[in-house]
Amino acid sequence: MPLVEIVYAPQVPSGTLRELGAVLPHLVSVAVECPEEPYDGELQPGDVDLRFRCRGPYDSGGLDVVIEVRSKWFESRAGNRQERVELLHEGIAEATGLEDFGVYLSLPVAAWAQGD
């Protein structure tokens, strides 16, 4: 399950944030799809967890939006992570019209458990 944190500047319109919330689960799932965790196009509750945070007065950063994707490390994911993050960035730009944003893909060694 990818965890996705979206940190945005106060001037980012709420409509843009709603659009991000609508498109990110699918785009992230495509970006991190691998043989160990295939994506069938049918997202279920808990498949992608989005967390939106407005940049605070003491945060720094020059981009309007920074999207951090954390998904479990698999060798098949890690081998082409730069290509994956570039395709994700391109998909977000096309879907939302955002220009001043960055995407960070992190693949930590991790485990996940979830109840029904």
Q: What value does the mean pLDDT take over residues 83-112?
A: 93
For domain 3-106, say whether CATH 3.30.429.10 is its number: yes
Q: How confident is the model at residue 15 (pLDDT cuts 50, 70, 90)?
A: very high
Q: What is the DSSP string of the chain?
A: --EEEEEE-TTS-HHHHHHHHHHHHHHHHHHH-BTTB---S---TTSSEEEEEEPPTT---SSSEEEEEE----HHHHTTHHHHHHHHHHHHHHHH---SEEEEEE----------
Percentage of residues of the chain with pLDDT beyond 90: 83
Q: Residue ranges per domain, the chain? A: 3-106
